[in-house]
Amino acid sequence: MKKDLLTLADLDAADMDLLLSRARQLKKRHKKGIQDWSLIGKTVGLIFEKASTRTRISFQAAAAQLGGTSLFISSADTQLARNEPVADTARVLERYLDALVLRTYSQDIQTEFARVASIPVINALTDLYHPCQVLSDLLTVLEYKGRFQGLKVAWIGDGNNMAHSWINAAAALGFELVLACPQNYMPDSSVIHGAGDKRFIRVVHDPAEAASGADVINTDVWASMGQEDQAEARQSVFEPFQVNSGIMDRAKKDAIVMHCLPAHKGEEITEEVFEGPQSVVWDQAENKLHMHKAILETLINR
Ligand code: CP
Ligand code: NVA
């Protein structure tokens, strides 16, 4: 594996398999009360420009449960906020830390940190990608469906950071991914063009077409962090893209419904579907802990 985890485009199927099987193993051991100590003496720094509940806390809990330490720093409290160059910050932080977990608006900042710092840099969300979330979501899919090959995954809603990381995952693992997005909210074409094997990836504008016969129905908020000023304008455009009982009727009977959270119930997903028997959202949230352990351990101890 590469030193950094900035995008799933950098991981091949073997890398993903490695992380998935280690996360499964760590989850099993955690459930049995077996302690793992793979991060003793290691310090993980988290610098976040955007809000976070799950990603921040699961990375910090992951480091603690493996015997390591973590430090959370809001980027506003660092000298980055006063224009200290990223390259200078990176050259300082690599002397204190064993890994850096970043949540930033721009992907380029993370690429620059990764270029300069000798320690692993891990993308905890940018405007462009959310790779760690999709890795833990893949773990949830594997738990419920037992495989990736032959699955149909539907993405219904915005062609956003989550959609981009799902595109990368489908290209690497070879499952069918059909994204139903409004005309002006499709995934970035450069992400699709950059995806290795595009045979299984399709973008459509009809949510029923994406949901038809799907094993997995996936959605996310209509306005992501940083798009708050567009929220009102997006409402009417996205209304036909709501995951509701009509959409679920199109999917396979045993389809699972996924949402990375936080959810806006009544908007991208109805309360009924969100709280219904096909929803696996709490397992998704839990699996972030186990996957983040696997990511930290693999990258720090490589
Ligand atoms: N799913 C996710 O990344 O949640 P947070 O924004 O709470 O970290
Ligand atoms: N697409 C959402 C995901 C939040 C975890 C956002 O970027 O806000």
Residues in the chain: 302
Same domain? For 61 and 118 the reply is: yes
CATH of the domain at 235: 3.40.50.1370
Same domain? For 152 and 79 the reply is: no
Nearest bound ligand to CA 54? 1
Two structure tokens written together for 96 = 């204190």
81-115 pLDDT, tens digit per residue, is 999 999 999 999 999 999 999 999 999 999 999 99
Same domain? For 158 and 206 the reply is: yes
Interatomic CA distance for residues 262 and 175, integer angstroms: 26
pLDDT at 26 over 90: yes
In the annotated binding site for carbamoyl phosphate, the residues are 52-55, 79, 103, 130-133, 260-261, 288
Domain count, the chain: 2
| pTM, full prediction | 0.98
Mean pLDDT over 199-203 rounds to 95
The atom number, within ligand 2, closest to the CA of 162 reads 1
How far does the centroid of ligand 2 lie from the alpha carbon of residue 263, in Å?
10
pLDDT at 196 over 90: no
Same domain? For 56 and 161 the reply is: no
Nearest bound ligand to CA 134? 1
Q: State the pLDDT at residue 197.
A: 86
Residues with CB under 6 A from ligand 1: 52-56, 125, 133, 260-261
Same domain? For 186 and 124 the reply is: no
User: Which amino acid residue places its CA nearest to atom 4 of ligand 1?
Assistant: 54
Within-domain flag for 213: yes
**H-assigned helices in the chain:** 13-31, 54-65, 86-93, 107-116, 131-145, 161-173, 189-194, 207-211, 231-238, 245-250, 271-274, 281-300
| 269: containing domain | 133-280
Mean pLDDT over 102-131 rounds to 98
How far does the centroid of ligand 1 lie from the alpha carbon of residue 190, in Å?
25
Residues with CB under 6 A from ligand 2: 125, 160-162, 220-221, 224-225, 260
How far does the centroid of ligand 1 lie from the alpha carbon of residue 260, in Å?
7
Within-domain flag for 249: yes
CB count in 10 Å sphere of residue 242: 19
Same domain? For 12 and 40 the reply is: yes
Same domain? For 61 and 193 the reply is: no
Q: Which of 222, 221, 215, 180 minimizes the C-alpha distance to 201?
A: 180
Same domain? For 156 and 238 the reply is: yes
